[in-house]
Amino acid sequence: MSIKETSATIMVVVLLFGLLNPILMVAVAQSDNSGNGFLERVIGNTIDIGLKLVPPDIAADLTNYLLSTHPDTISGLLVDLISRMDAKASADAVNTIIKDLGVDNLSKFLNTFLNRLDTEALTNMLNSTLDKNVDTISGFSSELVGNLDAEPIGKIANTLLADNPALLSDIVSKLDTKPLAASVNTLLNDNPKFLSNLVGGMDPKPLATSVNMLFNDHPAIANDLMAYLDPEAAGIMANTLVSDPATSEFVLETMDYIDNPQLIGLINDIFGKVFEKNYAGTEIIIAKGLPITIELPSPLKEMLGTDTLTIETPVDIYAKAYITGLWMEEYPMSF
């Protein structure tokens, strides 16, 4: 067999292996009720092998084909797997894959893969899946995220956003905001520190570039999300985010690259709603005497034997400062 024929044979085997993976995984899932992480190890090893053997462009083409021709089948397989998988064991498998392949290699693979991925077909499948199974997927995703190693994921996100600034806009803009917000609510409620840990390893410039593009192209999406987000969960997360000096610096640096005045105004408006319960703000009431010095007219000077009169007037001073005011504007205070 020639080298060319051998290469072609290997490629066919790899593609067949990729096509059979979902079927094999579900078969294992249906037969494994031990809860010992066996299913997660099978899936992790399968993904690990696939990433090493299948070129990213071919993997993307295969994914596009499956998503466009069999979206319901893929959605059903995904939900069936998630309902049988242990989130912590799955997170351990993901952490192992990232460590085994390395951040640079995985970033390179995902970069090529995502450039060829049909985001519309992907989001159509995700919308259908989330709409019907939001509780199952939200619960699993939240526990999964809580056990992921955020630092390497942040580094991978740096590369993806730097090389694909439109990626965030392409995907998020096509997702249904109600089930997406429900998933985000669960994630923030259960893992308020995850976002803080994640951004600790990220570069603010590519993130801000992607955010600029998202809001320039789809200005209504933030308001749509806000209608369904839980302000308490978002407020607790934001408080966690800005309480760490490393991540609070990230917020400031990111805002330096936000160049859309409408976006800055929108963020202030959104955060004003999110923090209306004061999860990340301060309220100060000062009650004390305010000294006032009055220069007396001549008759009173002679009568009282003094040029000025100082009196203390009781004054209540009320000050309120929210994170948006302190971080995105010039320290406004209301009295």
* Token output for 124: 């159509």
Q: Cα-atom radius of gyration of the chain, to the nearest Å? A: 28
The residue whose two tokens read 């299948």 is 54
pLDDT on residue 131: 81
Rounded to whole angstroms, the Cα distance separating 196 from 193 reads: 5
What are the domain boundaries of the chain?
A: 1-145, 149-280, 281-335
Residues paired with residue 316 on neighbouring β-strands, in sequence order: 287
Considering the entire predicted model, what is its pTM? 0.61
pLDDT on residue 8: 40
Q: For the chain, where are the alpha helices, taking DSSP H only?
A: 3-31, 38-53, 56-69, 71-84, 87-101, 103-116, 119-146, 150-163, 167-172, 177-190, 194-199, 204-217, 221-226, 231-243, 245-257, 261-274, 298-304, 323-328
Nearest to residue 149, comparing CAs of 201, 222, 85? 201
How many angstroms separate the Cα of 94 from the Cα of each of 44, 57, 136, 285?
7, 21, 20, 50
- 320, containing H or E segment: strand 308-321
pLDDT on residue 157: 85
What does 88-112 look like in DSSP terms, one character per residue? HHHHHHHHHHHHHH-HHHHHHHHHH
Per-residue pLDDT of the chain (335 residues; tens, 9 = 90+): 444 444 444 444 444 444 444 444 444 444 444 455 565 566 666 676 767 777 888 888 888 888 888 888 888 888 887 887 788 888 888 888 888 888 888 888 888 888 888 888 888 888 888 888 888 888 888 888 888 888 888 888 888 888 888 887 788 778 887 887 788 778 777 777 777 777 666 787 887 888 778 777 777 776 677 677 776 676 666 666 666 666 777 777 777 777 666 566 656 665 555 445 444 444 444 455 556 676 777 776 777 778 876 766 555 554 444 444 334 333 344 43
pLDDT on residue 17: 41
pLDDT on residue 285: 47
pLDDT on residue 21: 45
Rounded to whole angstroms, the Cα distance separating 231 from 171 reads: 24
The residue whose two tokens read 């439109």 is 166
pLDDT on residue 332: 42
Q: Which residues, in sequence order, are CB contacts of 257 under 8 Å at separation 6+? A: 204, 205, 208, 209, 212
Residues paired with residue 200 on neighbouring β-strands, in sequence order: none
